[in-house]
Amino acid sequence: MKKDSRIRPDTEKEWMEAIIRKDKEAFNLLSRQYRQTVFRIALRMTGNAEDAEDITQDVFVKIWLEAGKFDARFSLSTWIYRITNNLCIDRLRRAKWMKAFSFLGFPGSSRTQASRQADFHPGQGNERQSESPEEQWIAGESWRVFEKISQGLSPKQKSVFLLKEIEGLSTEETAFITGLNPDQIKSNLYWARQSIRKRFEQYYEGRSNGP
């Protein structure tokens, strides 16, 4: 197949068929096109750059191994969002349990340097790019505020809020990605907005009052 510089909506099925055939060039193009998007979502969901990088790696491993599960009823980006969301939810739930039982001395979930060096690389297109805009933003005021005001959200609320409010996805796309029905999406979005608004007001009220 002819290799274009980007995967277009009208060629997504063709590209995924190539990846099913283990075409590394097709996979590398997909990785280059979607890696920053995946990392951005994972970073916003987990609030941790190292976890986001691990999840990004896992997403592309899953795409390579399970390309045959691509659902052509939805766009490729929506399918990738779904994989990313599910892995983020798993990571957040695991972190919650690890924190709850940390007093028992269980090892943490962080990966070792050796394991990172053994990362999955079917081709050369999925290396981490250095100093992404998201990583630059993480040190700024906006990131710290978002981290504080989103701490009280459940994984589902955080997922729905990010997909609907920040990524601008439709309810149908959000339902496919999260597995929630429209009523559940509406409910989770409502409570996420309420929680964020309340925490936002408390945060800035505290800052205005000063020490």
CATH of the domain at 56: 1.10.1740.10
Structural domain boundaries enclosing 158: 140-211
**Confidence at residue 98, expressed as pLDDT on a 0 to 100 scale:** 45
- For residues 171 and 82, membership in a common domain is answered with no
pLDDT of residue 149: 73
Q: Are 68 and 158 within one domain?
A: no
The total number of structural domains that make up the chain: 2
Whether 92 and 154 map to the same domain: the answer is no
Residue (of 115, 116, 117, 123) closest to 31 by Cα position: 123
pTM given for the model: 0.69
- Could you tell me if 103 and 175 lie in one domain? no
Task: Kindly list the averaged pLDDT for each block of 10 residues, start to end, along the chain of length 211.
Answer: 64 90 93 94 89 95 94 90 93 60 40 40 49 50 66 88 89 94 96 86 67 56
> Are residues 13 and 104 both part of a single domain?
yes
Confidence (pLDDT) at 6: 72
- Of the three residues 108, 127, 151, the one that is the final residue of a domain is 108
State residue 139's pLDDT score.
47
Q: What is d(CA 88, CA 26) in angstroms, rounded to the nearest whole number?
A: 25
Same domain, 80 and 166: no
Residue 115 belongs to a domain: no
Given 58, 92, 108, which residue is the final one in a domain?
108
